[in-house]
Structures are given as C-alpha cells and as structure tokens.
C-alpha cells in the first residue's frame, strides 16, 4: 500500500527567465507529445487559459516606440490602463489615486542614476517585499540585471512614455511593454520607489511585473524565489535553517560566488501568507491606513519636497503599514530579506563569519552585534571596516554574525543559475528537459499517494537515465539529476479565487519488461510498488525541487497536488549531468483495427448526394467471418431473410420484428425511429439502469453508420451498430462496479483503452469535460455517445488520410461537412 504522507504549509514572504547564464547554454529538450506537448491547436482553443504577454497586440516594443515617436504621442497601454482596474480586483474604494508620468512628478526624471543598485529599492504599501527582496539580489548580478532591465531606455532621448522589461515565464522569455503612468497620492509614489526621488526604474519594473500577473494587488504576498526564478529562469532550493546541513555557510558562500540569488525570512508562526494583511482586514481598509500613514508623514515633514523638486533630493521613506511582527532585535517576522553578501572578519584576533542582509523597506535594521551602530566596531581594524563597507546609515542593509543569522532566521531560499550542487566545487554542463502538463478534475487530478483509487490517473512522465556521472572519486554507478515541479498562473488567477496548490511528486522505477512501451502505469502498479524517490514534502509553493542520485534505468515521475480533484497547469523540469530523456507517457493516438483493410468504399457527403462529385475513400473494415458484400446485398442475406428465420437467434428475430414495425416497408429508419428501436431494446436490460438514448445520441449513431449519405439506417447497418453497442455495453458494465448506471470519469481512461482507442492525455481531459456530469460520473448514454464519436472521427480521419502518414488536408467545405454531420 502507498505510504501515507503529510502536507506542509509554506509561509510566504510578502512583507515579502531561460537563463542568460549557464542554463541557457545547457541542452534543452522541450517535451512534446503527438497532438502537442504544449496546449496547442484545437486543444488550446478549447481550454487553454494561457495568453502570452509579448508586446501589446503582439507588436514589439520597438514597433510601438517608433510609432509613438512618429505620431509625437505618449504611449498609453490599453492592456494595463492607468486606472483602478490595474490596481485592485477584490473591491472598489473611495480613495482616488492620481496616475502621473515621471516628468509630472518631479523635474529631470531619470530611469537609472549611477547604475541600478539595491539602495534604489524602497517598499511601498503593497505587501510585495518578496518581490523587492529579489530585485535587491538581482542588482548584485549585472549580467542578469541587464537581461531583465534593458538599459537603452530614457526620459530624455527618444522619450515616448513607453518602457519594457523581460521576464522568464515557464520556459520562455517574454517582453512586457508598459506605459510610464504610475499611481501617486499627494504627488508621492504609492508603491515601490527609489531612494532618489527622480529615479524610476524600480517603480516601472514593479509595474511591468504587476501587468504580468494582472494587477498590483496580485503581487500581495509571495515567496522570494518566485520572483528570482522569473528574473533568471533558474532553479530554486528551499532550506529549513534548523534542519540545514552543517556546511550551510559554505553553501551560501558558493551561491554568492556563482551569482545565485538568495533570500531569507523568519516564520511568524501564524501560517498566514507573509506580507499580507490579517484575514479580517480588507484591501480598502489597508489602503485607507496606508493613506493616513502618508498624510501623517506629509504633515510632520516641515521640509516637504514640493512638485517640481530638484533631482538630487532624496525621497522621504515611509515604513509600510505593519502586519509583520517586529522583534526587539530589530528583525521582522513574516518578512522577506535579501542576502547580499558573506564575509569573514577579524575581531579580537578571531575570524567571525558574517552575513549581510537588506530589508526592502529601506530602513528598520538589526540592532545586535555587527549592526551599523554596534559599539564594538571600534575593535575592528580600519581596513576591515572599509572592506565590509561599514557605515552608519538607515538604508535597510546591515551585517550580522552567521551564528545570529541561523539563530533568528528560519527559511533560506536560493535560486541557482545552474543545477550544480552548492556543496561541490565542480561546475558541470547540465541538460534540461521541460514538459508541460495539467491536472484536470475527473481525469488527471488524482491527488497524492494517500488516494490510491485516483493517484494513478495523474500525468506520468518517463525518465530515462542513460549514462552515469563522470566522477572518478565515486565508485557507485549513479546518475545525478534534479526535478523541479512548478505550478502555473496561480498568482494571475487570484482574482478568480485561485491559490497555490500543495504540490509534490514521486519517482518509481519502471519494470524492465515495461521499458520503452510508454504506457500509463495502472492502479495496481502503485499499490504494490514503492517509490524510489520523492519530494520531501507536499507544500504550497509555486515550485518544489529536489536533488536525486539513482542508478541508470527507466523511471516514471508522477507530479500531483496533495488533494485530488484540483485543476491546474504545471511544468516539470528535469536537470541531469548526463544525457536523459523525459517525456509524457501515452503520447500516441491510434485505434485498434482487428482485421485487415478491405477494398475502399466511397463515402459521399450528404450535400453531394445529387451529383456524387466529391467521393472519398474509407477503409471498409469487417470482423472475422463477416460477409464482405455491399449493404444492399447484405440486407438480403439468408440470415436476415424472412424465409430463413431458422438461422436467426432470438435477439435477431426480436430486432427484425421491432425494426419492421417502426421502419415500415422501406426497412430504413431515421434518428427518431432509431431512438424508439434502441430504447425498446435497452429497456429490457434492467441492469443498465439507463433512461435510454437521447435524440442527439441517435443522430450521432446514424452519422457513424451511414455509409451512403442517406441520413437513415437499413436493417444490416442497424444490426452492425447494435453489435458495437453490445461490445461497449460490456465494457461499461465492467466498470460500473456499484451498478449505479454510471462509471467514474477516472475509469474512463481504461474503458476507452479497452474499446481499442489509444489517446493522449489532452484527449482524455477533453472527454471528461465533454461527457462527465458535475459529480464526475458518466452515464450509459454519454458513454455510448463518446464511443460513437471516437469511432466516427477515427473512421473519417482514415478516409481522408490516403497516404497513411497521419496528416490530412481539408478545405473549409470538407471541414464543415465532416464536423456538422458527426
């Protein structure tokens, strides 16, 4: 039986892209499947909610910029307009912000003054300290910074009120274009601002990130690693400091040397999302408190900077409305800090390990040992002070000893630009494969191993570890790899009520006899086989990642939410030191054909009956022992002739009598008559507990069996249809274990396979959405209707696929005729 596992709740810091570094140079394999690894084509048109933000109306920044300059107008972003719809979604409130462009806020506005650095970031009242802490880390790596913030932007040369920034989004870099209108109150920026009143890169970067997620409010509360990954495309590791390895300082030191981004926080013990307001405080109340704070500050400031201030006056910093808990030592619980440096200093003849941190508020600092105003700085050598850049300023940045750091802080987040282990001195070339998937309620949202009846239905990804590591010091035949599972678009969908799911994954070794078959592993496999590896816990973070070392073999990775029936999209990345293959299982689409192809018989479209000028070949398939003559001749075959009733079974006699009564002398029936025939027969099968077939189902059945385009069925066609229904009925009864007249949608995958259809996960998802009821059950009528549609679509495709290459080409008339008469 599966091991019972527990879920963790990740405190989120809210007080708190493909990488330009080595990750970009690694071999990348975007996982695909037949029909599309990514939601694409008709699947995308039906259910995908991903809309790329690449420019406005798909125009590039350069095109828009040029157009504004030619027309001599300032750009206004229609997708993220300067009004309240871009601010908050939870409620409206009476306080009005004024949207102003930087030239309207101060004189001589500048995009960047003296280079972008961590002191340019001062938090407003949005509760996005997690995002700002990541920006502070980003400024330490100029190469990454220039990737996110293109520096050829200005308020003077070719100024058109348009700016752009670039972020990594689930495997791709996107260019986000914005106008430079910013929300103000009393001529002060409401949200992020720079220490220099006339510097605006950080405020505009925050606006671009807000657009990426739909609104400013969507940025309230989060984890620092989320933004770090969006800045780099890197992979994150999450450490509980109390359980950290003994060489944690060495790990942090290597992270700094390799350009990794680091953040840390202190749990507040409330299990509340960090940086967000208590549950009883609504957004409107938050803003009102914020504005009162700003008003009070403005009244206290006797030297208030008026509109049109000079460019060298510093901004007056206002500490955000407090929901985090400030400790006596000056640190703040439930708040995100940036780790900006690690050094060792000589103090009284001994080396002391130090950590430099920054509070994104731009003030409120640690007041213990090694703080700015620590009295024992006098015992530190002057050159040592200079090396540590010690200065007594209220800028939010401070030193503290490593011992104090691990005593007070509880979480450490590291975003690595490569998958190299920080414990190792070696740098490797890593390959990465990326697979996109989704959990769909009733089909592929099976939950964790605690739910054995549905766990097996989760998306499954085969991982082939082909080559062992190149490590002469390691005698084990081992493959090192890292798995990172990231859920998509949860922040953007907050306005729809979405929150982060609690997610994780398990890894199972595939038995040798199943290597290479790419079949979806069934329920029994997971009941009787233990996982070889798994994520340490299920946790409500955007990404869960873990390092593993396993022997070369074939494995299956099963990503899941903790609870079943939770719908969402995700990407699964696998980094390995040596070559690996990672792909979703059941990625082929086909149908079993029990007999060889016979001579093609033409299909005539209904609209072409008069002249038969558009005939298409179709594979005319028959079963073993079936007469291969035409339908007209079959209708006169001995077993169905009145004079040969001795050769008929009781069921055949019953069919003939019912059919003759309803069809009349022409012995053909329409959809209404088919409904009467079928329901009279089905009603005799009390074990099906069905209310019968609907008229729409019967129309689909006629479209399936109607080979001459008459819109009617003769006796032989009807008999052949009933044989199919009987076969499908047996499958239905097999999975209707409780004899309720319905089957669970999770079992539909196996039922479809038993009927000879092999589909990919996207099609199983569509079947569930199309045919299951709100309780995720499928009744007999819907079940048969689904199989009729599958049979008909496969037959039609094969008719058009004359070359047998799996590709057909239709004009609009053929497409509409095919889809309308199905």
Does any domain span residue 265?
no
Which residue in this structure is represented by tokens 């998937």?
A: 437
Work out whether strand 28-30 and strand 431-439 pair parallel, antiparallel, or are unpaired: parallel
**Do 483 and 562 fall within a single domain?**
yes
What's the confidence (pLDDT) of residue 611? 35
**Do 485 and 515 fall within a single domain?**
yes
Does any domain span residue 761?
yes
How do residues 461-479 score in pLDDT, each as one tens digit? 999 987 776 665 566 778 8
Of 215, 79, 193, which is closest to residue 135 (Cα–Cα)?
Answer: 193
Q: Which residues are catalytic?
A: 129, 335, 359
- How far is the C-alpha of 342 from the C-alpha of 340, rounded, in Å? 7
Ranges of residues in the chain whose predicted pLDDT is under 70: 1-58, 93-94, 118-120, 123-125, 269-324, 362, 394, 418-429, 469-475, 578-580, 586-587, 593-648, 651
**Do 536 and 605 fall within a single domain?**
no
How do residues 34-71 score in pLDDT, each as one tens digit? 333 344 444 443 444 344 444 444 679 999 999 999 99
**Do 700 and 780 fall within a single domain?**
yes
- How far is the C-alpha of 70 from the C-alpha of 162, rounded, in Å? 14
Does any domain span residue 786?
yes
Does any domain span residue 580?
yes
539, 561, 584: which is the final residue of a domain? 584
What's the confidence (pLDDT) of residue 621? 40
Domain count, the chain: 2
The b-or-e profile of 115-137 (16+ CB within 10 A means b, else e) is ebbbbbbbbbbbbbbbbbbbbbb
Does any domain span residue 326?
no
Does any domain span residue 605?
yes
383, burial (CB in 10 Å: exposed 0-12, middle 13-18, buried 19+): exposed
- How far is the C-alpha of 37 from the C-alpha of 631, rounded, in Å? 42
Of 481, 538, 520, which is closest to residue 3 (Cα–Cα)?
Answer: 538
Cβ proximity of 310 and 107 under 8 Å = yes
**Do 801 and 685 fall within a single domain?**
yes
**Do 511 and 643 fall within a single domain?**
no
**Do 571 and 616 fall within a single domain?**
no
**Do 459 and 538 fall within a single domain?**
yes
- How far is the C-alpha of 227 from the C-alpha of 173, rounded, in Å? 14
**Do 795 and 694 fall within a single domain?**
yes
**Do 498 and 602 fall within a single domain?**
no
Q: Distances from the Cα of 450 to the Cαs of 308, 453, 526, in angstroms?
A: 63, 9, 11
What's the confidence (pLDDT) of residue 598? 45
Q: What is the pTM of this model?
A: 0.75
Q: Quote the strand ranges of 12-158, DSSP E.
A: 28-30, 98-100
Side-chain half-sphere exposure of 311, counting CA atoms within 13 A: 13
**Do 739 and 783 fall within a single domain?**
yes
- How far is the C-alpha of 712 from the C-alpha of 717, rounded, in Å? 9
**Do 653 and 771 fall within a single domain?**
yes
CATH number, domain at 628?
1.10.238.10
584, 619, 646: which is the final residue of a domain? 584
819, burial (CB in 10 Å: exposed 0-12, middle 13-18, buried 19+): exposed
| Domain coverage including residue 453 | 428-584
Does any domain span residue 618?
yes
Distance of CA 149 to the CA centre of its chain: 25
- How far is the C-alpha of 798 from the C-alpha of 459, rounded, in Å? 28
CATH number, domain at 515?
2.60.120.380
Does any domain span residue 65?
no
584, 601, 630: which is the final residue of a domain? 584
- How far is the C-alpha of 338 from the C-alpha of 96, rounded, in Å? 33
What's the confidence (pLDDT) of residue 275? 45
Cβ proximity of 26 and 579 under 8 Å = no
């Amino acid at each position: 039986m599966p091991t019972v596992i527990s879920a963790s709740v990740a405190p989120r810091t809210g007080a708190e892209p493909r990488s330009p570094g080595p990750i970009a140079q690694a071999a990348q394999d975007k996982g695909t499947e037949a029909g599309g690894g990514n939601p694409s084509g008709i699947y995308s048109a039906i259910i995908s909610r991903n809309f790329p933000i690449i420019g406005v109306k798909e125009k590039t920044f350069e095109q828009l910029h040029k157009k504004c300059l030619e027309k001599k107008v300032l750009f206004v972003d229609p997708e993220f307009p300067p009004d309240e719809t871009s601010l908050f979604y939870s409620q409206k409130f009476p306080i009005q912000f004024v949207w102003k462009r930087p030239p309207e806020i101060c004189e001589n506005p500048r995009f960047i003054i003296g280079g972008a650095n961590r002191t340019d970031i001062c938090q407003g009242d949005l509760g996005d300290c997690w995002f700002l802490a990541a920006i502070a880390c980003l400024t330490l790596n100029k190469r990454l910074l220039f990737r996110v913030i293109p520096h050829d932007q200005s308020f003077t040369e070719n100024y058109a009120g348009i700016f752009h920034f670039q972020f990594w989004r689930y495997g791709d870099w996107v260019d986000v274009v914005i106008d430079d209108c910013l929300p103000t109150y009393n001529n002060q920026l409401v949200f992020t601002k720079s220490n220099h009143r006339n510097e605006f890169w950080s405020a505009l970067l925050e606006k671009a990130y807000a657009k990426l997620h739909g609104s400013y409010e969507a940025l309230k509360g989060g984890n620092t690693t989320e933004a770090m990954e969006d800045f780099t495309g890197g992979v994150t590791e999450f450490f509980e400091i109390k359980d950290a390895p003994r060489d944690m300082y060495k790990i942090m030191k290597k992270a700094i040397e390799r350009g990794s981004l680091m953040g840390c926080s202190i749990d507040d013990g409330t299990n509340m999302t960090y940086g967000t307001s208590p549950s009883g405080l609504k957004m409107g109340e938050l803003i009102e408190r914020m504005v009162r704070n700003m008003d009070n500050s403005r009244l206290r400031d006797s030297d208030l900077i008026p509109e049109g201030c000079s460019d060298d006056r510093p901004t007056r910093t206002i500490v955000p409305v407090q929901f985090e808990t400030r400790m006596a030592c000056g640190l703040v619980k439930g708040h995100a800090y940036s780790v900006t440096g690690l050094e060792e200093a000589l103090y009284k003849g001994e080396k002391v390990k130090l950590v430099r941190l920054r509070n994104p508020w731009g003030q409120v600092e640690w007041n213990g040992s090694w703080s700015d105003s620590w009295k024992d700085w006098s015992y530190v050598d002057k050159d040592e002070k200079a090396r540590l850049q010690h200065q007594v300023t209220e800028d939010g940045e401070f030193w503290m000893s490593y011992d104090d750091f691990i005593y007070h802080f509880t979480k450490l987040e590291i975003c690595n630009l490569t998958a190299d282990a920080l414990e190792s001195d070696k740098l490797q070339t890593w390959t990465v494969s990326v697979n996109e998937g989704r959990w769909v309620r009733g089909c592929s949202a099976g939950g964790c191993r605690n739910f054995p009846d549905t766990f097996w239905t989760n998306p499954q990804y085969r991982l082939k570890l082909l080559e062992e590591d190149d490590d002469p010091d390691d005698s084990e035949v081992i493959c090192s790899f890292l798995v990172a599972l990231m859920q998509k678009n949860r922040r953007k969908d907050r306005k729809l009520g979405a929150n982060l799911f609690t997610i994780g994954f398990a890894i199972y070794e595939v038995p040798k006899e199943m290597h290479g078959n790419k079949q979806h592993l069934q329920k029994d496999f997971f009941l009787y086989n233990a996982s070889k590896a798994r994520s340490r816990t299920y946790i409500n973070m955007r990404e869960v990642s873990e390092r593993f070392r396993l022997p070369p073999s074939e494995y299956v990775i099963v990503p899941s939410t903790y609870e079943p029936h939770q719908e969402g999209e995700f990407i699964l990345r696998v980094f390995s030191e040596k070559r690996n293959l990672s792909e979703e299982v059941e990625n082929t689409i086909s149908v079993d054909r029990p007999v060889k192809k016979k001579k093609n018989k033409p299909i005539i479209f209904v609209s072409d009956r008069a002249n038969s000028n558009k005939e298409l070949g179709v594979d005319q398939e028959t079963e073993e022992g079936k007469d291969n003559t035409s339908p007209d001749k079959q209708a006169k075959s001995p077993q169905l002739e009145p004079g040969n009733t001795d050769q008929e079974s009781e069921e055949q006699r019953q069919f003939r009598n019912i059919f003759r009564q309803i069809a009349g002398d022409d012995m053909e029936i329409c959809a209404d008559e088919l409904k009467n025939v079928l329901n009279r027969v089905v009603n005799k099968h009390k074990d099906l507990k069905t209310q019968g077939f609907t008229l729409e189902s019967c129309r689909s059945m006629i479209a399936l069996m109607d080979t001459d385009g008459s819109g009617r069925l003769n006796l032989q066609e009807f008999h052949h249809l009933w044989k199919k229904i009987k076969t499908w009925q047996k499958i239905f009864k097999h999975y209707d274990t409780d004899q309720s007249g319905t089957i669970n949608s999770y079992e539909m995958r196996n039922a479809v396979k038993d009927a000879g259809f092999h589909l990919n996960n996207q099609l199983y998802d569509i079947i569930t959405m199309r045919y299951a009821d709100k309780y995720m059950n499928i009744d007999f009528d819907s079940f048969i209707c689904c199989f009729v549609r599958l049979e008909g679509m496969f037959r039609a495709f094969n008719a058009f696929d004359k070359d047998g290459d799996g590709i057909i080409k239709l004009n609009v008339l053929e497409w509409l005729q095919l889809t309308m008469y199905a």
